[in-house]
Amino acid sequence: MLTQPRLQSDLLKDQVAIVTGGSRGIGGATSEMLAANGTHVVIADVDCRAAQDEADEINKAFGDDCASPYVADLAATGVCDALVQDTMKARGRLDIVINNAGYVWDGRVHAMSDEQFQAMLDIHLIVPFRMARACAPIFRETAKREDAEATPRHRKFIMVSSLAAQWGLIGAANYAAAKAGMLGLMRTLAQEWGSIRVNSNAVGFGIIQTRFGLPQSEREVIETGGRTIHVGMSMKQSELMGVTIDPDHVPTNEEIYASKPDNRVALGRTGTIQEAADAIFWLASPLSDYVTGQLIAVGGGARGGMS
């Protein structure tokens, strides 16, 4: 387990959630938090081993049928539709969707290729759009049935965005633009889906400590769109930020995800994946049933324009 969820309850009992990129980092912590509170979590990830390992860990901790892996490249044509359809076929319902899958492919604008820019739009914006389109008929039919039975309930469609969507981010215009696009999609869905009781919101994270905050290595790669992407910061960026890792040492989860001091943040430190998952859980729960179309900033009081 990546975390020890701070709350275990039946608040989301019998609900079904899809968490894209749900095996590691923020996605993994979110999968664990949802499962700890009664949800069956479909962990949709491009990494087969990571998805299966996380599902196994969750089932060991919370019960034999709390999580299942779904391995696919979400950016490929038709995959989002298949994910939603297969979830409905296997589980018969869909209550929560967490659009978390993503990675970074940094570079200054003057040196960025079309492929590099498009890749960030594909995973951070096009995939959530395709997920929304695939979910729409299911959400509408479910709401129609509930209205007829006088059993209204809310469903949740959540975007994992970034404060970079508001401020921009030096060296990552592609990422910042895609995360900003998420917000326009989220707010439109909130208006289109309000009548069918689907709450559409986003979390805007500041610096959350994940493997993307480490220098790139040969050990951490993502295979997507026929490309091999090295996870993490470039060596130059790592040097500028004073982040160094022994290349011969494989970081432990404790080292990767531990909060670190940061004087650019009002609280004086970076955030943790547990704190990220807590915010997502609130939006996924009935505690936020009267909240929609909102960006919830989770950045510890990060100062605008920080990079």
Q: Which of 156, 179, 200, 259 is an active site residue?
A: 179
Q: Which of 70, 103, 175, 257 is an active site residue?
A: 175
Cβ neighbours of 204 (radius 10 Å): 24
- Catalytic (active site) residue 175: yes
- Residue 8 located in a structural domain: no
What's the rounded mean pLDDT across residues 122-138?
Answer: 98
In this model, does residue 216 exceed pLDDT 60? no
Which residues partner with 211 through β-bridges?
A: none
Quote the pLDDT of residue 213: 59
CA angle 95, 100, 106 (to 5 degrees): 165
d(CA 58, CA 2): 10
User: What would the two tokens of residue 78 be?
Assistant: 């038709």
Quote the pLDDT of residue 256: 87
Quote the pLDDT of residue 59: 98
Quote the pLDDT of residue 253: 83
Q: Which of 161, 162, 200, 288 is an active site residue?
A: 162
Quote the pLDDT of residue 251: 75
- Residue 51 located in a structural domain: yes
Instruction: Give 190's pLDDT tier (boundaries 50, 70, 90).
Output: very high
- Residue 251 located in a structural domain: no
Phi, psi of 96 (to 5 degrees): -140, 135
Count of domains forming the chain: 1
Cβ neighbours of 45 (radius 10 Å): 28
- Residue 242 located in a structural domain: no
Of 222, 199, 207, the C-alpha closest to 153 is 199
In tens, the pLDDT along 3-16 reads 999 999 999 999 99
CATH number of residue 67's parent domain: 3.40.50.720
- 82, 129 contact by CB (below 8 A): no
Instruction: Give 215's pLDDT tier (boundaries 50, 70, 90).
Output: low
d(CA 8, CA 32): 10
Quote the pLDDT of residue 236: 54
In this model, does residue 109 exceed pLDDT 60? yes
Instruction: Give 252's pLDDT tier (boundaries 50, 70, 90).
Output: confident
d(CA 78, CA 84): 10
d(CA 128, CA 138): 16
User: What would the two tokens of residue 300 be?
Assistant: 């510890």
* Percent of the chain clearing pLDDT 90 (strictly above): 82
**Torsion angle (degrees, nearest 10) of CA 86, 92, 95, 99:** 0
Quote the pLDDT of residue 214: 58
pTM score of the predicted model: 0.90
d(CA 190, CA 157): 9
- Residue 114 located in a structural domain: yes
Pairing relationship of beta strands 198-205 and 155-162 according to DSSP bridges: parallel
**Strands, E assignment, 79-145:** 96-99
d(CA 18, CA 98): 6
Distance of CA 297 to the CA centre of its chain: 15
- Residue 236 located in a structural domain: no
- Residue 38 located in a structural domain: yes
| Mean pLDDT for all residues in the chain | 91
Indicate if the alpha-carbon torsion angle 279, 283, 289, 295 is positive or negative: positive
Phi, psi of 197 (to 5 degrees): 60, 40
Range of the domain at 58: 16-210+264-298
In this model, does residue 89 exceed pLDDT 70? yes
- Catalytic (active site) residue 31: no
What's the rounded mean pLDDT across residues 247-257?
Answer: 77
- Residue 11 located in a structural domain: no
